[in-house]
């Protein structure tokens, strides 16, 4: 084990990608084994915050006080058995993908930040561009080895329903409390996942380090596709893109795993790096479909050509991948947006205000029209991009200093509208310490109280993940 108590050695654990600056800790504890961690939990009664890799956007890894527990030494990748692999929470997505490259196996969740720890992706139920077809992190977790704040340990397996108790290594039990709250019917990473007859596993995934500590994780793998067919479609009218998305979601001819949107402002920003973007394009859509057998690639391409013919797409201006290099270029195209936004903000000394909201399919078109109208009327520079297949777009407001109050008001108005449609304040980043105000507004006092009952059931002394979610 390693224990860090000097300010200089603690400092790196007080930061993440959110730029939250109010972190404070007395010590960083880095266990080398599970037994060291359990012994520490049983002997130390201070508050504890679990540190991931620091790629999060809501400050959930940044401590308010007490001790930081870093699982960076829990980074093992075990032998694949059948379609499963046990991994340490400190291993990263990049390490996992590199490990899987020479095998026939594939792990679909692909958040933008591949340096994220796998434990961190479970803590927020991370998704990525391929969530439209494959789902989110929770869909690929078969088991967790978990320790509570008091040192009790349990292995929770897929299929273990909340109707039966969790039984810990000391023989003690926890029953799921009687509450009324149910999670919203859309892509969601706000608070605990709660549904009738759900698995215990799903409660812990997305709990942002507030219920237990993952020490080992069993991931589900699928057979690796031979190829990915991808393209970037351009549109001269923004609504044509929205209409095509609705048609894609209701058809059975093409079956994309990724549907990623770029508005006209995103394209203007990207044009500096990608000058071939057609100047008259007002929107773009990145599409990607997995091809399990490479012999089916041409057939899959023909289906896309058939589907897109007579649609309002600038087909002659659109891009289609010819090889893996093009595929990587298109993924880079998508990932460049947040990078460019941050660069522009730094150059102009501006602060980004970003959304992570989502709604159900019922409100897709209303959401798009509302976004466009409120943003156009605000006078604030902005870009919109993201997971349009999940009705989950990221609005990045880029206000000048003189526009910050207006931007905050616009964010509030957008949040209120999303809540009126039973949507969520966070579809993939979590609540952490930054979005609690909106989370409380979204759920209301009774539902918040239900989630606090869950928290108290597992951590009655409120020691774990202090100030996250609540």
Q: Dig out the tokens for 453 from the structure.
A: 């009952």
Alpha helices in 26-65 (DSSP H): 34-43
Report the C-alpha gap between 17 and 35 in whole angstroms.
31
* Whether 16 contacts 22, CB under 8 Å: no
Q: pLDDT tens digit string along 439-454?
A: 999 999 999 999 999 9
Report the C-alpha gap between 451 and 463 in whole angstroms.
16
Phi, then psi, of 319 in degrees rounded to 5:
-110, 140
pLDDT below 50 — which residues of the chain?
none
Cα 74 to its chain centre, rounded Å, is 22
How confident is the model at residue 352, as a pLDDT?
81
The residue with tokens 């291993």 is 91
Residues 6+ positions from 43 with CB-CB distance below 8 Å: none
Count helices and strands in the chain by DSSP H and E runs? 13, 19
Report the C-alpha gap between 264 and 381 in whole angstroms.
12
How confident is the model at residue 342, as a pLDDT?
83
How confident is the model at residue 347, as a pLDDT?
83
**Which SS3 state, helix, strand or coil, does residue 29 take?**
strand
> Considering the domain 227-420, what is its CATH architecture?
3-Layer(aba) Sandwich (3.40)
What DSSP string runs through 267-312? HHHHTTT-TTS-TT--EEEEEEEEESSGGGHHHHHHHHHHHHTTSS
The closest of 139, 164, 301, 144 to 220, measured between CA atoms, is 139
* Whether 277 contacts 269, CB under 8 Å: no
CATH top class, domain 84-223: alpha beta
Residue 202's alpha-carbon distances to 118, 289, 449, in angstroms, are 16, 28, 19
CATH for 2-70 (3.30.830.10, 3.40.462.10, 3.30.43.10, 3.30.365.10):
3.30.43.10
Report the C-alpha gap between 306 and 304 in whole angstroms.
5
Report the C-alpha gap between 187 and 183 in whole angstroms.
10
Sign of the C-alpha dihedral computed for residues 208, 419, 390 and 384 taken in this order? negative
pTM, entire model: 0.95
How confident is the model at residue 12, as a pLDDT?
97
Report the C-alpha gap between 48 and 210 in whole angstroms.
9
How confident is the model at residue 345, as a pLDDT?
79
How confident is the model at residue 75, as a pLDDT?
98
Burial class of residue 233 (count of CB atoms within 10 Å of its CB; 0-12, 13-18, 19+): buried
- Ordered by start, the domain boundaries in the chain are 2-70, 84-223, 227-420
């Amino acid at each position: 084990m390693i224990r860090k108590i000097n300010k200089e050695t603690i400092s790196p654990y007080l930061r993440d990608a959110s730029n939250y600056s109010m972190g404070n800790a007395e010590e960083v504890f880095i266990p080398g084994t599970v037994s060291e961690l359990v012994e520490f939990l049983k002997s130390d009664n201070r508050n504890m915050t679990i540190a991931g890799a620091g790629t999060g956007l809501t400050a959930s890894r940044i401590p308010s006080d007490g001790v930081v527990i870093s699982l960076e030494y829990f980074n093992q990748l075990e032998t694949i058995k059948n379609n499963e692999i046990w991994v340490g929470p400190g291993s990263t997505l990049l390490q996992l993908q590199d490990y899987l490259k020479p095998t026939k196996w594939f792990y679909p969740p692909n958040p933008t930040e591949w340096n994220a720890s796998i434990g961190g992706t479970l803590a927020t139920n991370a998704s990525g561009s391929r969530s439209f077809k494959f789902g989110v992190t929770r869909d690929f977790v078969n088991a967790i080895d978990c320790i509570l704040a008091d040192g009790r340990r349990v292995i929770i397996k897929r299929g273990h329903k909340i109707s039966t108790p969790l039984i810990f290594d000391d023989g003690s039990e926890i029953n799921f409390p009687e509450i009324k709250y149910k999670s919203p019917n859309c892509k969601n990473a706000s608070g605990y996942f709660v549904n009738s007859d759900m698995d215990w596993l799903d409660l812990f995934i997305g709990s942002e380090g507030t219920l237990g500590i993952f020490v080992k994780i069993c991931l589900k793998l699928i057979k690796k596709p031979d190829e990915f067919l991808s393209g970037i479609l351009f549109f001269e009218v923004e609504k044509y893109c929205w209409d095509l998305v609705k048609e894609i979601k209701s058809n059975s001819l093409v079956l994309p795993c990724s549907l990623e949107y770029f508005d006209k402002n995103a394209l203007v920003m990207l044009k500096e790096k990608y000058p071939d973007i057609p100047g008259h394009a007002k929107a773009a859509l990145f599409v990607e479909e997995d091809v399990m057998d490479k012999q089916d690639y041409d057939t899959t391409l023909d289906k896309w050509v058939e589907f897109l013919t007579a649609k309002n797409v600038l087909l002659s201006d659109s891009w289609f991948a010819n090889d893996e290099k093009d595929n990587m270029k298109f993924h880079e195209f998508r990932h460049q947006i947040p990078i460019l936004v941050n660069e522009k903000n730094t150059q102009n000394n501006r602060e980004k205000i970003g959304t992570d909201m989502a709604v159900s399919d019922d409100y897709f078109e209303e959401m798009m029209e509302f976004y466009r109208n409120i943003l156009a009327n605000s006078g604030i520079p902005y870009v919109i991009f993201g997971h349009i297949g999940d009705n989950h777009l990221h609005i990045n407001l880029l206000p000048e200093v003189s526009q910050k109050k207006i931007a905050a008001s616009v964010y509030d108005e957008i949040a209120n509208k999303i809540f009126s449609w039973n949507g969520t304040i966070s579809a993939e980043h979590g609540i952490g310490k930054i979005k609690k105000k909106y989370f409380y507004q979204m759920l209301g006092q009774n539902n918040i109280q239900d989630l606090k009952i869950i928290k108290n059931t597992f951590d009655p002394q409120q020691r774990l993940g202090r100030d996250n979610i609540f």
